Amino acid sequence: MARILLVEDDEALARGLTAALRGEGYSVDPAPDGETALEMARDEPYAVITLDVNLPDMSGFDVLKSLRSSGCRAPILMLTARDSLEDRVKGLDLGADDYLLKPFEPAELGARLRALLRRPASDPSPLIRVGNLEIDRSRCVIWVSGEQIDLRRREWVLLERLVVRVGKVVSKDRLAAEVFGFDEAVAPNAIEVYIARLRRKLGPQGPAIRTMRGLGYVMENTPAAGT
């Protein structure tokens, strides 16, 4: 399950693209501005980043330059309504991998993403280990102490969100936004229910998921039995 960072300030367009890409099996994290995108990219090794050129707080070119200077190697697809040779050359020189001119059809965006994902090493870390937990993000499979564990889709998404930020507190609101769709009704205790299920399935040998009251949850690189 490839994870995509979608940087787009047009809320309606972002919602539509997110729904379309999730329908194709991608995990999508929307970011409405450049600062949010840079913060999210620091926490997550994205398989692909789609980056709008016109953002409310900074130019997409500045975001691109910052991403590349910080060591981000994910393929970056620039989205722009400005069809000028100068802009395309500037973006490519700064490290963009491809350009897509607005307006476009979701099918073309999907085709561009598939092409970028076919490139070698497009996903820098499909296999992650946290203590006795091993997670293969490319196949959506996990093992605890060598034993494969079955997870439902939302349990998997929640686990992945915690694993890629191991040692860091992740807020309940952010987890809810990533686990549930835009139009889904979410019960106030939904995340607590899924956290409880994860703890039960990971068992005492799996990594501890600690509740930080008023802040969120953090996955620790130690077995739950040791906490």
Residue 127 burial (C-beta neighbours within 10 Å; 0-12, 13-18, 19+): exposed
Q: What is the edge-to-edge ordering of all strands in the sheet holding 133-136?
A: 127-130, 133-136, 141-144, 147-149
Q: What single DSSP character describes residue 17?
A: H
| Nearest Cα to Cα of residue 172 among 211, 199, 135 | 211
Tens-level pLDDT at each residue, the chain (227 residues): 688 999 999 999 999 999 999 888 888 999 999 999 999 888 777 889 999 999 999 999 999 999 998 888 889 999 988 767 777 778 888 888 888 888 888 888 989 998 888 876 544 556 788 989 998 876 778 999 999 999 988 898 889 888 878 888 988 888 887 777 655 667 778 899 999 999 999 999 999 999 999 889 999 988 877 65
Kindly give, in sequence order, each residue whose CB lies less than 8 Å from that of residue 27, ignoring residues fewer than 6 positions away. 1, 2, 3, 4, 157, 160
User: Looking only at Cα atoms, what is the longest distance across the chain?
Assistant: 59
Domains of the chain: 3-117 (3.40.50.2300), 127-226 (1.10.10.10)
At residue 104, what is the residue type? F
Cα–Cα distance between 27 and 21 in angstroms, integer? 8
pLDDT digits (tens, 9 = 90+) for 166-182: 888 988 888 887 777 65
The percent of residues above 90 in pLDDT, for the chain, comes to 38
217 in Cβ contact with 210 (< 8 Å): yes
Cα–Cα distance between 144 and 129 in angstroms, integer? 10
DSSP lists the bridge partners of residue 99 as 78
* pTM score of the predicted model: 0.61
